[in-house]
Amino acid sequence: MAETVTYGDFERVDIRVGTVVDAQPFPQARKPAIKLTIDFGAEIGIKKSSAQLTVHYRPEDLIGRQVCAVVNFPPRQIGPFMSEVLTLGMPDADGAVVLVKPDLAVPNGGKLF
């Protein structure tokens, strides 16, 4: 079990919903990945993310899909690409990433609470 955190700790992690507006293969990544361009609405804008999604997703199938991401981590250099947000997923039975997304369409930029 993970370490216990306070509600204040949880509030510091800014998890928002956005819509994938572009997705491209990322062959330069050490592990197979897809480069995502995600629209988080007017307040946050367009951000980029590298995500290891190649087992269950093809780039062309991700465009228009809503995803959840942590938007207040520092950017991370992944090979030649700067990943600005952490796109969230859960492992399937074999450890491959399954994206976290809202059940229903919600406005881009909505904050998880």
Provide the β-strand partners of residue 15: 70
In a domain, 38, yes or no: yes
Rounded CA-CA distance 14/77 in Å is 20
At 59-113, the pLDDT tens digits run 999 999 999 999 999 999 998 999 999 999 999 999 999 999 999 999 999 999 9
Give the Cα separation of 15 and 6 in Å (integer): 16
Q: Enter the pTM of the model.
A: 0.94
**How high is the pLDDT of residue 1?**
85
Q: Using one digit for the tens of pLDDT, what is the confidence trace for 3-31? A: 999 999 999 999 999 999 999 999 998 89
- 93 assigned to some structural domain: yes
Minimum mean pLDDT range among 26-30, 35-39, 42-46, 88-92: 26-30
- What are the angstrom distances between the C-alpha of 30 and each of 11, 42, 75, 102? 32, 33, 18, 29
State the burial class of residue 112 (Cβ atoms within 10 Å of its Cβ: 0-12, 13-18, 19+): middle
Q: How many structural domains are present in the chain?
A: 1
Structural domain includes residue 57: yes
**What is the span of the domain harbouring residue 77?**
12-99
CATH of the domain at 61: 2.40.50.140
The phi, psi pair for 62, rounded to 5°, reads -85, -20
